[in-house]
Amino acid sequence: MRDNVRAFVKLAAEAFALGGPVYEFGSYLVEGQEELADLRPLFPDQRYIGCDLRPGPGVDRIEDLAALSLADNHARTVICVETLEHVFEARRAVEEMVRVLSPGGVMLIAAPLDFHIHDHPSDYWRFTPSCLTRLLAPLDATLVGWQGNERFPHTVFAVAAKRPLAARFARGANQFVTAMQHWAAAAADNERWQRRLKRWAAQWLTSKSEHVRRRDYFQVRFVLDMPRGHDWKHELLELTHADQHTGSRLDFQSG
């Protein structure tokens, strides 16, 4: 698991006050990533069930994400990060997660886009922001974002909620996006000097597209889509639409 994905889950859990039971799909802790990939400590007071297709560390329950054995409306929080690209029936997997999500529940998804092929156990897909938006369309509010260059980001994120929606979702989006902006700015400022030197050298040794890719690595952008017929914009007046360090922003649209 990458540090930006762990930060995504941590900040979403805080901003949206995510409750249990929490079901994580793809919870197997790969050797060498046990500390970074273990998300349980981010939900200290909630019932947490780790699910995966194979047994092992971090797994409480064996589940096929494309054919879950859970009842409808069962999970208050659903987490699926760094996993959906490994599920061959990805569309069916999202339908299953939507099915088991309880009314008022929240789903977190993160997936790589501009990223190398990796096997845990197999790597099938890459998801664009518009793809996640379409996959999550059955839910009633979505906050879809990405990190990196807008034309080819390295990571795609989504927070989605099932009706009934409370005003706290819009407020949570405010808090979450601001926190992600601050995290990205801090990550850019704290980047190790060796990597900064490598990026500086790369601008002279790489193509223009690669230079843009490296330059925009910490940029974050989100689009919030809320239901028609509700005036949610007043909840978002304090949102920061651009960050001085990262160019981060949030756009609002009524779906």
Find the CATH number of the domain harbouring 184.
Answer: 3.40.50.150
E-only strand ranges, the chain:
22-25, 48-52, 61-62, 75-81, 101-112, 141-147, 155-161, 220-226, 249-254
Rounded to the nearest 10 degrees, what angle do helices 208-215 and 193-205 cross at? Answer: 160
* Closest C-alpha among 49, 129, 137 to residue 95: 137
Query: Residue 234 carries which DSSP code?
Result: G
CA 9 to centroid of chain Cα atoms:
7
Q: Are 115 and 154 in contact (CB under 8 A)?
A: yes
Q: Residue 238: pLDDT above 70?
A: no
Q: Could you tell me the pLDDT band of residue 218, with boundaries at 50, 70 and 90?
A: confident
**Phi (first) and psi of residue 9, to 5 degrees:** -65, -45
CA 81 to centroid of chain Cα atoms:
6
Which domain, by its residues, includes 166? 3-254
Question: What are the respective helix, strand and coil percentages of the chain, to the nearest 5?
Answer: 35, 20, 45
Instruction: Write down the pLDDT at residue 204.
Output: 58
Distance CA 20, CA 34 (A): 22
Q: Could you tell me the pLDDT band of residue 164, with boundaries at 50, 70 and 90?
A: confident
Q: Could you tell me the pLDDT band of residue 32, with boundaries at 50, 70 and 90?
A: confident
**Digit-coded pLDDT (tens) for 96-135:** 999 999 999 999 999 999 888 887 778 888 999 999 999 9
CA 74 to centroid of chain Cα atoms:
21
Distance CA 253, CA 249 (A): 13
Lowest mean pLDDT among 38-42, 87-91, 161-165: 161-165
Instruction: Write down the pLDDT at residue 239.
Output: 44
Instruction: Write down the pLDDT at residue 71.
Output: 96
Instruction: Write down the pLDDT at residue 214.
Output: 72
Distance CA 243, CA 246 (A): 6
E-only strand ranges, 22-100:
22-25, 48-52, 61-62, 75-81
Q: Residue 40: pLDDT above 90?
A: yes
Instruction: Write down the pLDDT at residue 246.
Output: 41
Q: Residue 86: pLDDT above 70?
A: yes
Structural domains of the chain, count:
1
Distance CA 107, CA 179 (A): 18
Placement of tokens 């050298």 in the chain: 201
pTM: 0.85
Instruction: Write down the pLDDT at residue 229.
Output: 53
E-only strand ranges, 135-239:
141-147, 155-161, 220-226
Instruction: Write down the pLDDT at residue 201.
Output: 62
Instruction: Write down the pLDDT at residue 50.
Output: 98
